[in-house]
Amino acid sequence: MEEKAFYQGRKAFSEIFEVQAEVPLGLAEGFELSIRPLIRAVTEEGDVVLLDKLNVRTITVFDPAGKAKGRIGRYGREEGMYIYPHDLSFDRAAGMYYVYDGDLLEILRYGRDFGFVDRHTALVFADDLIPVPGGRLFAYVSSEIQDEKVRNVIYEIRPGGEILNRFMSHPESYTRWASSEGGGVVAVADLLYAITPYQYAISVYSLDGDHITTKNQESPRYTAPDGAFKLDEDDPDAFAKLNAFHAGWSHIFQILNFGDRILGIVFAEPGEDRVFLDLFDTDLSALAEDVELPPYVGELFADGNRLYMMLPEREDLGEGRLANPTLRVYEFTGPWPEDE
C-alpha cells in the first residue's frame, strides 16, 4: 500500500521519467521522415524502427546514434513490397518483423536482417498486430467493425491469414461516427491486456480468448463519447458537426507495457489540448494517475524501463523541407511494483 501511495503522490511526469538521451535522427537520401513518423520497435542493439505512413510510406531503421541504417521493404507491388504499411510489430524472440499492408490487406514478414520472408492475406482490417511467443499472431481492430452482428476487437490469425478466434466486444458507446484509431493490446506473459479508444475500461484475456477481468477507470480528465450521437450525412454542416463530436470526448491513444510489470494508458482530454498517462500494475491497481505528458506528436513506445518519443521541434531546411526529428529517450525512475 505504501508503494502505491508513492506513485499516486507523484503527479509530475519528470518525477517518474527522466531524460536519458536525445538523439537527432540524421537526414540521408531515402530516409527523409514525414511530419509524424511512429516508433514501432527497438532492437536489442538499440536500433529504432520507424513506421512512416504519411506520404513517404516507408519503414526506416536508425542506429542508437541516429544514423540511417536500413529500410524494411519498400513501396511497390512487387514481391516483398507494400502499398500502405499501416502497422509494424517486431517479434524480438523470433527476430521477425510483421508489416500489415492496409491497402492490400496482407501481412508481410521480414527477418532480423530486414530481408523479405513471406506474405499472406489477412482476413481482417488490423490497426495493430501482436505476435506472441510460440508463433501465435493477434490482430487488434479499433477503427472498423467487421460485422455489425459481431463487434469484436481482438482476432487470432493463422499464418495463412484465416481467423482462428475472435473476442472482446466494442463498448456500447461505439458508433460508426466515433470510429477512431487508438487503444490497443499488449501481451504480458500469457495474458492480453486491451483497451478501446471509446471507453476507459482495461480488459484482460487469456491467449485463448477467455475473459479474466475488466477494470473501469475514472478520471476527471476523461469524457466518454455519446453513443447516441447521430449525424445526417446530407447536412451541409455534417463534417463540422462530426469534428465537434470528436472534440467533445477523450480519445484513448495507447496502451503501453513497461518491462511486463507496469501498464500505461495514454489518453487525451476533450479537444486533445493535453495528453495524460496513467500507470497500473498487472493486477490493474492504479500506480499513478493523470500524469500530464510533454507535447504528444505521435505514438510513444515503451521497451523495458525506457520510454521513447519524438520531439515536436524540427529545423526548417527551406523549400518545404524539414530536418528529421529528434528522438528523446526517458528512463523510468520509480521502483517497480514488486520492489521493496
Q: Residue 229 contacts by C-beta under 8 Å, 6 or more apart in sequence? A: 175, 177, 178, 245
Answer whether residue 320 shows pLDDT above 80: no
- pLDDT, one tens digit per residue, over 220-238 is 999 999 888 888 889 999 9
Give the cell for residue 145.
467493425
Structural domains of the chain, ranges and CATH numbers in brackets: 2-332 (2.120.10.30)
Answer whether residue 30 shows pLDDT above 90: no
Separation of alpha carbons 242 and 230, rounded Å: 9
The whole-number average pLDDT for the span 68-87 is: 93
Separation of alpha carbons 205 and 227, rounded Å: 25
CA within 13 Å, CB half, 133: 6
Give the type of residue at 322.
L
**212-219: Cβ within 8 A, 24+ apart:** 213/284, 215/280, 215/284, 217/265, 217/278, 217/286, 219/267, 219/276, 219/278, 219/289, 219/290
Tell me the percentage of the chain whose pLDDT exceeds 70.
94
- pLDDT, one tens digit per residue, over 1-13 is 344 444 454 568 9
pLDDT confidence bin for 145, thresholds 50/70/90: low
**Whole-number pLDDT of residue 56:** 83
**Whole-number pLDDT of residue 4:** 46
pLDDT confidence bin for 147, thresholds 50/70/90: low
3-class DSSP assignment, residue 37:
coil
Answer whether residue 268 shows pLDDT above 80: yes
Threshold 0.85, pTM exceeds: yes
**Whole-number pLDDT of residue 161:** 80
**Whole-number pLDDT of residue 3:** 43
β-partners of residue 286 are 280
pLDDT confidence bin for 53, thresholds 50/70/90: confident
Answer whether residue 340 shows pLDDT above 50: no
Separation of alpha carbons 121 and 129, rounded Å: 14
Count CB atoms within 10 A of the CB of residue 128.
Answer: 23
Give the type of residue at 317.
L
Give the sheet arrangement for strand 252-258, strand by strand.
Answer: 252-258, 262-268, 275-281, 286-292
